[in-house]
Chains A and B, each alone.
Chain A
Amino acid sequence: MIIAGIIMLLAVRELPPDSSLADVREAGTLIVCVPPSLPPLLIPQPGSDRYEGTEAALVRSITAGIGVSVQWNPQPGWGDTIDPSDWGLRPSACDLVVGGIVAAEETRSLLELVPYHTVRWAFAGDPGAGAVGLYVPFWGVDRGRAARWLRDEGYDLRFFFNADVAREALSNGEVRAVLSLEPVAEWIAAGQDIVTPTTGLPGETLAVATWKGRTTLNRAVQRAVPSP
């Protein structure tokens, strides 16, 4: 009787707790909410509704694993304010949420995260003396802590809210360096060998996410995404 009970529990736990994966498979498309642009993670392709970049490649491997195509759903309000409730993101708009999401209490409260890569903070350029830029387009990162750390280190701080502006400011000498997470810092450095990781701030874990309660889809994403 005990063995039969254990077999029953093991069988019952395999029942799908929701229909989110089945719904995606039936539609044949995985709808992905993304910010308008976040190079080099998500780079919109002019003249098409496609994205390239490291997270776009990750999304393609997820859709290949599930056996569906991808449909991008850019969210114009993403990152406009500090309160994500104001960005216009809604569970009805997409199945997957992707775009510089970092594992943190705020993001874990709203989404079911699938972490895929741990990254360091890095300077693009030599901070030396002078103005240093801070570019943090990541959802969940404590910008205040990064800003405090830069000020405590004695840097003259400038905030950037656009990757192209940050890259331009670095290339024309407006700032001596820009601090960001390493992949973005490398993009801002524009191929030059001037990126220096810093240990002054703890590393962050990038993640993609499903909405809470969409467990079967979340499991399928976990299977397709490498562990950090």
Chain B
Amino acid sequence: MTGLTRVLRYLHDFAAATHAVWLREVLRMLRDSGQIVGAFSRPVLWVMIFGIGLTPYFRTGLRETTFMVPFTYIQFILPAVVVLNLMYPAIQSAVSLIWDREFGFSREVFASPTPRSAVFFGKLLGGGTIAMAQGLLVLLLLPAANVPVSYASLLGALVPMATVALAFTAIGLFLASRMSSFQGFGVFANTLILPAFFLASSIFPLDPSLSMEQALQSFPAWLVFLVHANPVTYAIDELRWVMLGYRQFDPITARTVLSAFVLIPVIMAYHAFRR
């Protein structure tokens, strides 16, 4: 067997193992009725009830509001709900790691010649795929928010969506690698998701026309700091730019933060997983 054949054989086996783990994750989600109910109920609750309910208080008629922004509240919140519907399934998909450890599946897989990295990437891509599917469901509500849909905007939305999906799957895998109880993982996941969502300028805007000094006069400094320090802020901002042509933050900063946001958790999760 030549060196090249051996490399090709290894790559084939690696891809086959990754695919098998990926498929297992996706099938597990399709059979999990709780996840499916959550995937459909979150957009309805947040967009159709919360979004429509608060829209009248966000009208931008002359002299009616503080902010002069080119969108309605339901349009403003919709990209944030896309991200929320990515975060939950991405983190929850990592629960499978605890299940696999609990019921001995991990032992069998790790005893086989399958590379651990193939299992890791199968789980990462599986969680990412599940999250992307649930995030895309929210886009079905774009017409309800009067947001014109174009192929260009849909394609443009995929990049920030994939970033959040992979980053939160990796964070979930990192946490699950270090935890042994389902309850503990659930508490950690919620403790992470909800603050990350609410501190991402998801449900209230920081007025983009204000300088940092002016923003600090409108909002408490700790809140402005946390919103700016939260990587999810920039993912939502990128989605708003693609969908509404509106952004609050510098695009170069946003893309730099998002690149780091996907790379760092993936590297950390990979190392935790290999141990």
Contacts and interface: CB of A to CB of B under 8 A. Distances in A.
A33 to B, nearest CB: 11
A211 B61 contact: yes
Nearest to B141: A13
Interface stretch (A82-90, A117-125, A198-206): A82-90
Contacts, number: 85
Nearest to A107: B70
Interface string B44-72: 10001000100110111111100011101
Interface of A: 1-2, 5-6, 8-10, 12-15, 17-18, 84-85, 87, 89-91, 105, 108-110, 112, 211-213, 215, 218-219
A9 B40 contact: yes
Contact of A5 (B40, B56, B62, B73): B40
B253 interface: no
- Of the listed residues A10, A87, A110, A213, the one surrounded by the most CB atoms of chain B closer than 10 A to its CB is A213
A91 B36 contact: no
Contacts of A87: 62
Interface of B: 30, 33, 36-37, 39-40, 43-44, 48, 52, 55-56, 58-64, 68-70, 72-74, 137, 140-141, 143-146
Given A18-B56, A109-B69, 14 more contacts: A5-B137, A8-B40, A9-B137, A12-B48, A13-B141, A14-B144, A17-B74, A17-B144, A89-B62, A90-B61, A211-B59, A212-B60, A212-B61, A218-B146
Contacts of B68: 109-110
A2 B36 contact: yes
Contact of A91 (B64, B73, B137, B140): B64
Interface SS of B by simple majority: helix
Contacts of B44: 8-9, 12
A84 B30 CA distance: 53
Nearest to A8: B40
A10 B140 contact: yes
B46 to A, nearest CB: 12
Nearest to B144: A13
A199 B37 CA distance: 56
Contact of A112 (B37, B72, B140): B72
B59 A213 contact: yes
B247 to A, nearest CB: 13
Contacts of A109: 60, 68-70
B222 to A, nearest CB: 29
A213 B30 CA distance: 37
7 A-B pairs closest in CB distance = A5-B40, A13-B144, A91-B61, A108-B70, A109-B68, A213-B59, A9-B140
Contacts of A85: 62-63
B33 A110 contact: no
Contacts of B73: 213
28 contacts: A2-B36, A5-B37, A5-B40, A8-B44, A9-B137, A12-B141, A12-B144, A13-B48, A17-B52, A17-B144, A17-B146, A18-B55, A18-B56, A85-B62, A89-B62, A90-B62, A91-B59, A91-B62, A108-B70, A110-B62, A112-B146, A211-B59, A211-B61, A212-B58, A212-B61, A213-B56, A213-B58, A215-B72
